[in-house]
A and B are shown apart, each in its own frame.
Chain A
Amino acid sequence: MGFSNDQNDKVLITIDAINAELDGINDAVFKDIQTDGEIVTVIYLSSLIDNLTLHRTVIAPLLTNKDDILKAAEVPKKITITSILSSITDGDTIVYFHEKNLFVTVNTYSPPTSSIAQSDAESTVSGPRDVLTESLQTNLSLIKRRIKNTNLKSRDFIIGTETNTKLVVVYMETIVHQENLDRVFKNIDEMDWPGFNDITIVSQIMETHKYSPFTQYHMTERPDFVTSSLLDGRIVIMMENTQGALICPSTFFEFFMSPEDEYNRWTTATLLRCLRFFGFFLTIMLTPFYISALSFHPEILPFEILINLQESRSKVPFPPVIEVLFMELVIEVLREAGSRMPTKIGQTIGIVGGIVIGTAAVEAGLVSNTLIVLVAISALLSFLPPSFTMSNSSRVIRYLFIISAGIFGLYGQMIAFAWLMIHLLNLTSLGTPYMTPLIPRKWSDLMDNVIRLPIHLQKQKKGVSRAMTKKVPPTKGEK
């Protein structure tokens, strides 16, 4: 045992002082325990600690052989009233030995957590099924189970001026680019925000382009995706009480990749990726094109199609742009209402609402048949990207395209498209251009992007993260 009592020489902390600080906290427990020879006071917050854990780690050793607890517990070299209080709010138990005038802290934090379940937001058909949970420890263990390597480093931060939330930055030391890492550390250090309920708030604060409709950091709740990102040299940020991890930097194209692509054959993966990627452009172009074609350039459509369209529109009294906006908003309302209602009712309302509104709106002469089809297709296409934030973005900018098509027709659409392109080109994620690997081009990344080539061609690390080693580094054992 190598503890000394000099912590007491420097500060005078009394039970009363701690008691005064914890006054008004209803679950703060001060328990005096009579052990053989002296009285010991145990202080903890009962809401953070499971009774069984407390009994096993603190009470039982104190009653049987109190030296055991001194061997097992952490004896802080220097203690202050703040450090004691922060240990208590962290879920530790403080044990105070009256005779020795000695404080020790025992790690007893054991809040209830949800079990490792299947992913709802990023479900896949094949591949691992486990998903990150609210517990930071569990999440770290899920990752460390996959990467058994001492190069996997992590650094802790406390963020949130009021909530003191714990945040961990995880990275592979040998692969990650130091400049990226410094940027992340700096961003986190500078964060000045009272409280963090979810890691998406961290992402919003860290983003450089705050006015953009596009999110610049990828958010995932799949440990396998986290692992492959880490091996690529990305930096992963995780926070306690959040079911998800932030991956930075990310690029535009990665929002169209599903973790499942890695487990599929390259042909299937390529087909699906192309669908998702071109679906993004179709979803923002389809209904605006309907507006442009009908209200500005009817001559671009062949006569037969035009006649069909006009026939189906013959009962509709509004201009196409109002018609489209009306129908898109109805779909949006259906989606929002469906997701807010309890699951069982939500589904029913969704189906019934969709069918009823679909047919009734046509018969009532509010919208045309063709438009119902187009809006339904574009709504479906908008849900193709595996990342929910990207599908949200695509739906938002679609309105920009609809309105510009309503004002200037195809010309407006192309102007909006040019805006989208230049905006995407100007975006950066942690200093990395958002449109990598297309512009600036990185050949190594193009192998695994919209088109995924067979796996033996993808030996190199992604250039996006500016990885230090091009190939997978040897483990320490091999050196």
Chain B
Amino acid sequence: MMDQTKQLNGYHVVFLVQNVMMGTTLLLLPNLLSSVGYSQWWLPLMFALIANLLLIPMVWLMSQYSAYNLFAIHETLLGKWLGKGINVLLILYLIVLIAATCEGYLELIQVVALQDRTITGPLFIFFLLLVYIVSGGIKSIARFCIISFFLVTWMIYFMKWGITEGDIRHALPLFNFSMQELFTATKNGFFSMAGFELILFYFPYIIHQKKVFKQASLGIWICGILYFITAFVSVMYYSEWQLENVLYPVLYLFNAVKFSFLERVDVIAITLWVFFILSTASAYLWVVKKGIDSIRASENKSHLYIISLIIYIFINIQFPEEFQNKLYERVHFVSYGFMIWPIFLCIIHVLKAKKEGVK
């Protein structure tokens, strides 16, 4: 089928799952959840639970086809042409997703750190590095995830200032929101959990496939707890109006940090964030590369370069702002569909197995 060297151990799986999830969304999470007001702090835990439940069909499906990734499963389950068609759609979706992630981050860099600069140059070196990471293979990406986790997560210490200046009474009362508000918050915020579904693609590379569920759940919960801490501190620190209207609340949370030798910690935080964005984007880019490999039925390094070039150009094209915002927003909804998609595949698999059993 393809290069099936098993190379991911338990640590790799945990950090791949949780680091891919933490991209730009963590920076704006409290804002996304703002429709439920102060009750938002427990939502990340609910999200983690939902993600964990969604993981069950994924892992079950993958363990039925332990040597295949999702692209190959599509072709086996749905037939060659339909499978390939879906794969193409999937790849298009992933390309837009990578573009959305990178562009979102670089625009932030432009606003916070590199004023009066276009994003072309920073984006270019970003992509050079991205290609360098991805060309090392999935194991290299996983290792990068581990190191970026430890290089960036210490910043959670900066929450200390938010806690001391915040008011814990904001956390109560609970549940004073309507169903509609909860639905909106979930619709906007659950996207922050996107990323764990990539397990559908690197499953064949995992050494201990039986333990995947445990490891991936651990990853989901690490991420969920980090989200939880962020959301809780934001609730303490901000007023409800601020939560709704400050676009990057976490960034301003960093701004609360006071050192005698350092003024604006958020500049350092946002530049250090490039580690998270790189790990997220590189994992997605790797999947796209595998997808092109499977469609063209050949492994080729040039696929990676071509794809990166396409995404680079795609980001650089000046679309009308309205169209772009809509496109990037819609991508989030596609990703919900993508998370539920394995359930359908499971059903098809069961039906097919029954049919063959009857025969």
Interface residues of A (CB under 8 A from B): 296-297, 299-303, 305, 404, 407-415, 418-419, 421-422, 425-426, 435, 439-441
Report the Cα distance A426→B133, complex, angstroms. 9
By a CB distance below 8 angstroms, the chain A residues around B263 are 299-303
Total residues of chain B contacting the partner, CB 8 A? 33
- Looking across the interface, which residue of chain B has its beta carbon closest to that of A426? B136
Q: Which of B11, B122, B268, B275 contacts A418 (CB 8 A)?
A: B275
By a CB distance below 8 angstroms, the chain A residues around B267 are 297, 299-300, 410
* CB within 8 Å for A426 and B140 given contacts A302-B262, A415-B125, A439-B146: yes
Report the Cα distance A413→B129, complex, angstroms. 13
Q: Does B144 contact A425, Cβ atoms closer than 8 Å?
A: yes
Q: Separation in Å of the B162 CB from the closest CB of chain A?
A: 19
Q: Does B274 contact A418, Cβ atoms closer than 8 Å?
A: yes
Q: Does A299 contact B264, Cβ atoms closer than 8 Å?
A: yes
Q: Does A421 contact B262, Cβ atoms closer than 8 Å?
A: no
Q: Does B125 contact A408, Cβ atoms closer than 8 Å?
A: yes
Report the Cα distance A404→B263, complex, angstroms. 23
Q: Does A422 contact B129, Cβ atoms closer than 8 Å?
A: yes
Interface residues of B (CB under 8 A from A): 9, 11, 109, 113-114, 121-122, 125-126, 129, 132-133, 136, 140, 143-144, 146-148, 151, 260-265, 267-268, 271-272, 274-275, 278
Report the Cα distance A297→B126, complex, angstroms. 20
Q: Separation in Å of the B111 CB from the closest CB of chain A?
A: 12
By a CB distance below 8 angstroms, the chain A residues around B265 are 300
Q: Which of A297, A409, A422 contacts B140 (CB 8 A)?
A: A422
Q: Separation in Å of the A93 CB from the closest CB of chain B?
A: 57
Q: Separation in Å of the A113 CB from the closest CB of chain B?
A: 46
- Looking across the interface, which residue of chain A has its beta carbon closest to that of B132? A422
Report, nearest first, the 7 A-B pairs whose CB atoms are least far apart: A410-B271, A414-B271, A425-B143, A300-B264, A411-B271, A299-B264, A414-B274
Q: Separation in Å of the B138 CB from the closest CB of chain A?
A: 13
Most chain B CB inside 10 Å of its own CB: which residue of A305, A408, A418, A435: A418
By a CB distance below 8 angstroms, the chain B residues around A414 are 271-272, 274-275
Q: Does A302 contact B268, Cβ atoms closer than 8 Å?
A: no
By a CB distance below 8 angstroms, the chain A residues around B9 are 440
By a CB distance below 8 angstroms, the chain A residues around B133 are 422
Q: Separation in Å of the A9 CB from the closest CB of chain B?
A: 58
Most chain B CB inside 10 Å of its own CB: which residue of A303, A410, A422, A441: A422
* CB within 8 Å for A419 and B113 given contacts A302-B262, A410-B268: no
Report the Cα distance A296→B115, complex, angstroms. 8
By a CB distance below 8 angstroms, the chain B residues around A415 are 125-126, 129, 274
By a CB distance below 8 angstroms, the chain A residues around B274 are 411, 414-415, 418
Report the Cα distance A299→B267, complex, angstroms. 9
Q: Does A302 contact B261, Cβ atoms closer than 8 Å?
A: yes
* CB within 8 Å for A419 and B129 given contacts A297-B267, A410-B113, A441-B11: yes
Task: List 28 interface pairs A-B (beta carbons < 8 Å), by A numbering.
Answer: A297-B113, A297-B264, A299-B263, A299-B264, A300-B263, A300-B264, A300-B267, A302-B261, A303-B263, A408-B121, A408-B122, A409-B113, A410-B271, A411-B109, A411-B122, A411-B274, A413-B271, A414-B274, A418-B129, A418-B275, A418-B278, A421-B147, A421-B151, A422-B129, A422-B140, A425-B140, A426-B136, A439-B146
